[in-house]
Amino acid sequence: MGLAMSVPQLLIILVIVALIFGTKRLKEVGGDLGSAVKSFRKAMNAVENHEDEASGPPKQLTSEQQQQEKK
């Protein structure tokens, strides 16, 4: 017995869930889920950008900056 469901089975489940929770609550849950996914993607992009910056070529220091680091 597999876990795969056909389209009619998914529609029946969706109708039952809509009857139990109501369409307003489902809309709120969908909006919250969308916001969570958006925040997750934004955080993942920030991590990727940070990794790209960290792995970039080293910065060339001027002679003045080199002297300041030695102090």
Residue spans of the domains in the chain: they are 9-52
Reported pTM: 0.49
Buried/exposed 16-31: b ≥16 CB within 10 Å, e otherwise: eeeeeeeeeeeeeeee
The predicted pLDDT at position 63 comes to 72
Report pLDDT digits (tens) over 20-61.
Answer: 989 888 889 889 999 999 999 999 988 888 776 666 555 666
Taking the C-alpha atoms of residue 9 and residue 7, their distance in angstroms, rounded to an integer, is: 5
Can you say whether residue 22 is alpha, beta or left, with left for phi > 0 and alpha for psi between -120 and 50 degrees? left
Residue 4 DSSP symbol: -
